[in-house]
Structure 1
Amino acid sequence: MDDLQTEKVLYLEYLQIEKNASSLTIKHYEKDVEAFFLFMQTEGIPSIRDVDYPLIRIFLTRLYQQKLSRRSVSRKLSCMRSFYRFLEREGKVNHNPFINVSLPKEGKPIPEFFYEEELERLFSVNDLSTPLGQRNQALLELMYGTGIRVSECVGTKVEDINFTIGTILVKGKGRKERYVPFGQFAAKAMKMYIEDGRSRLLRNSDKKPDHLFLNAKGGTLSDRGVRLILDKMVEKAAMTVNIHPHKLRHSFATHMLNQGADLRAVQELLGHENLSSTQIYTHVTKDHLRKIYRDSHPRANK
Structure 2
Amino acid sequence: MNAVEHTRVAKRLTKLQQLKSGQTESVAPSAGQAVCDEFLVYLKRECHLADNTVAAYGRDMKRFVTWMDGRRPADLTITELSDFVASLHGEGLAPASISRAIVAIRTFFKYLQLEGITVDNPAELLATQKAWQRMPGVLSPNEVEAFLSAVKKSDSFWQRDRALLEVLYATGCRASEVCTLRVRDLTLDEKTLRCHGKGDKQRMVPIGGRAIRAIQLYLEESRHILADRNPGQIDELFLSRGGKALDRIQLWRLVKRYAKRAGISDEISPHSLRHSFATHLLAGGADLRQVQEMLGHASIQTTQIYTHVEHSRLQRVHRDFHPRA
C-alpha deviations, 1:58-79, integer Å up to 9, x for none? xxxxxxxxxxxxxxxxxxxxxx
The change in CA–CA distance for 1:119 and 1:285 in structure 2 (over 3 A counts) is farther
2:256–2:266 CA contact under 8 A, matched in 1: no
> 1:110 touches 1:280 (CA, 8 Å); kept in 2?
no
- Of 150, 164, 178 in structure 1, the residue corresponding to residue 175 of structure 2 is 150
Query: Runs in 1 of length 4+ with deviation above 6 angstroms?
Result: 290-293
- The match for 1:210 is 235
Structure 2 Cα separation of the partners of residues 137 and 204 of structure 1: 21
Partner of 1:261: 286
TM-score (norm 1): 0.59
CA drift at 1:227: 0.3
Give 2:130's aligned amino acid: G
TM-score after normalising by structure 2: 0.55
User: Per-residue displacement from partner, 1:1-21 (whole Å, max 9, x unpaired)?
Assistant: xxxxxxxxxxxxxxxxxxxxx
Q: Tell me the equivalent position of 2:135.
A: 111
Residue 11 of structure 1 is matched in structure 2 by none
Aligned-residue Cα RMSD (Å) equals 2.7
Specify whether residues 162 and 280 from structure 1 end up closer, same or farther in structure 2 by C-alpha distance, changes over 3 A only: same
Distance 1:240 1:278, change over 3 A: closer
* Identical pairs, percent: 37
**Could you say which residue in structure 2 is the equivalent of 1:170?**
195
Letter in 2 for 1:111: M
Larger Rg computed on CA atoms? 2
Q: Which residue of 1 aligns with 2:248?
A: 223
Q: Offset at 1:205?
A: 1.6
Q: Does residue 134 of structure 1 match 2:166?
A: no
Aligned to 1:278: 303
Secondary structure of the equivalent of 1:238?
A: coil
Q: Alpha-carbon deviation of 1:238?
A: 3.2
Greater helix fraction, Structure 1 or Structure 2: 2
Contact persistence 1:161–1:169 (CA under 8 A): yes
Look up the SS of the partner of 1:153 in the other structure. Answer: helix
Report 1:1-302 matches (<5 A).
107-108=130-131, 109=133, 111-112=135-136, 113-128=138-153, 132-283=157-308, 284=310, 288=314
CA distance in structure 1 between the aligned counterparts of 2:252 and 2:260, rounded to whole angstroms: 12
Q: Is the 8 A contact 1:257 1:263 kept in 2?
A: yes
1:110 Cα deviation from its structure 2 partner: 5.5
Structure 1 residue ranges without an equivalent (≥5): 1-104
C-alpha contact 1:127 1:134 (8 A) present in aligned 2: no
